[in-house]
């Protein structure tokens, strides 16, 4: 065990690209997406238990998901479930977790991870994480885990890194962070060899990240400094509500990572997917000889490379003549969408909200 190392699991998102399965009242981190018998949040939590004490694992979530987190993670101390009054993106989320940890251990090194990743080769994952933790304890740097691209993906951000003369070096200095590209640019990134996908996982010593907030997000840092004295007291909830009411909506990528000069990346040695879209789920589902992946009851004719998911065990889907489609039936919503257009689902969700209200999203 590593008593001075901590994990912040971010579990407050809605996962709108995973609609209609992921909803505001029951987002994707609480689903058993691949039929493994455990939710994505449970799999994430268990990934760290062999080398990080449970008392050092914190989950930051939205206030309305507190009960769900507690039910999914009964072994997690209740005081380690941090409640955001509302979403303000990843920068306030990480700051909240970091200040909470600083209160308990001012010499902590921290890994930040999402709650909805699928990671194979967990031993390789642990090795990369421990390299990052050790380097960040020894040097005032921020480390991120980058994923070697397997295709020209337009749904992920990218990190370009500087090659080193040291052949066996495990990590490299980051040259730039790039937002999600169009297809032509994604092909260039994929073929160049010095770009990795941005996994959204970061490692740092507590002093390093708080210095970064001071340098690049001083307004946010001041708000959390004001709340710091009452953390782990009954006054914390009200103080955090005030912090979030006054804090801007900002991602840590844009607010800090794209500006800092001390960011490094470990090209990962493990398989990873954020399961952020139906297409990414399709890749990990069992498929028939025509490439159809089915969860539920379905009969398929003259159709190939489709993802079909039906929640109602008594409902039969008959699919004829469709190729490369996503078909998802959750009972109250039926989604039929070309796989190539899955990035538009987020826009669909906004349109559904406008026309039919929050209850449908």
**Local mean pLDDT, 10-residue blocks, the chain (361 residues):** 95 88 92 89 95 97 96 97 96 98 97 92 94 97 94 89 68 92 91 91 98 98 98 96 97 96 93 84 92 95 96 94 96 95 90 92 91
Q: Residue 269's pLDDT is what? A: 85
| Angstrom distance (rounded) from CA 305 to CA 293 | 7
Of the residues 221, 249, 276, which one is the last residue of a structural domain? 276
Answer yes or no: do 263 and 335 share one domain. no
The answer for residues whose C-beta is within 8 angstroms of residue 221's C-beta and 6 or more apart is: 95, 210, 213, 214
Per the listing, tokens 């998901």 go with 65
Answer yes or no: do 212 and 268 share one domain. yes
CATH number of the domain where residue 242 is located = 3.90.550.10
Q: How many domains does the chain have?
A: 2
Answer yes or no: do 317 and 260 share one domain. no
With 0-12 / 13-18 / 19 or more C-beta atoms within 10 angstroms meaning exposed / middle / buried, residue 258 is: middle
Domain that holds residue 349: 279-360
Answer yes or no: do 214 and 307 share one domain. no
Answer yes or no: do 137 and 191 share one domain. yes
Answer yes or no: do 347 and 254 share one domain. no
Of the residues 276, 293, 313, which one is the last residue of a structural domain? 276
Per the listing, tokens 């507190």 go with 66
Answer yes or no: do 179 and 201 share one domain. yes
Q: Residue 242's pLDDT is what? A: 97
Q: Residue 51's pLDDT is what? A: 94
Of the residues 257, 276, 295, which one is the last residue of a structural domain? 276
Answer yes or no: do 108 and 23 share one domain. yes
| Angstrom distance (rounded) from CA 283 to CA 276 | 12
DSSP, res 284: T
Answer yes or no: do 260 and 326 share one domain. no
């Amino acid at each position: 065990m590593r008593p001075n190392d901590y994990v912040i699991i971010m579990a407050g998102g809605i996962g709108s690209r995973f609609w209609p399965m992921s909803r505001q009242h029951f987002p994707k981190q609480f689903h058993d997406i691949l039929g493994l018998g455990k939710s994505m949040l449970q799999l994430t939590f268990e990934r760290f238990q062999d080398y990080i004490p449970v008392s050092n694992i914190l989950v930051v979530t939205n206030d309305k998901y507190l009960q769900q987190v507690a039910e999914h993670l009964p072994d997690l101390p209740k005081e380690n479930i941090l409640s955001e009054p509302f979403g303000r993106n990843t920068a306030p989320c990480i700051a909240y977790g970091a200040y909470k940890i600083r209160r308990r251990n001012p010499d902590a090194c921290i890994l930040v991870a999402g709650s909805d990743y699928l990671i194979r080769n967990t031993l390789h994952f642990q090795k990369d994480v421990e390299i990052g933790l050790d380097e960040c304890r020894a040097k005032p740097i921020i480390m991120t885990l980058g994923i070697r691209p397997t295709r020209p993906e337009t749904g992920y951000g990218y990190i370009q890194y500087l090659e080193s003369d040291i052949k066996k070096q495990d990590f490299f200095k980051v040259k730039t962070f790039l937002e999600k590209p169009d297809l032509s640019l994604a092909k260039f990134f994929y073929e160049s060899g010095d770009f990795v996908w941005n996994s959204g996982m970061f490692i740092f010593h507590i002093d390093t990240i708080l210095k970064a907030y001071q340098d690049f997000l001083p307004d946010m840092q001041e708000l959390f400094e004001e709340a710091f004295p009452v953390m782990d007291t009954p006054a914390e909830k009200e103080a955090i509500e005030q912090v979030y009411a006054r804090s801007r909506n900002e991602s840590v990528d844009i607010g800090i990572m794209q500006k800092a000069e001390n960011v490094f990346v470990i090209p990962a040695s493990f398989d990873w997917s954020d399961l952020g879209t139906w297409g990414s789920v399709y890749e990990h589902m069992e498929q028939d000889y025509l490439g159809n992946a089915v969860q539920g009851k379905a009969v398929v004719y003259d159709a190939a490379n489709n993802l079909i998911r039906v929640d109602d065990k008594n409902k039969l889907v008959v699919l004829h003549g469709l190729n490369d489609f996503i078909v998802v039936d959750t009972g109250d919503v039926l989604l039929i969408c070309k796989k190539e257009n899955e990035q538009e689902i987020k826009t669909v969700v906004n349109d559904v909200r406008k026309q039919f209200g929050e209850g449908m999203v």
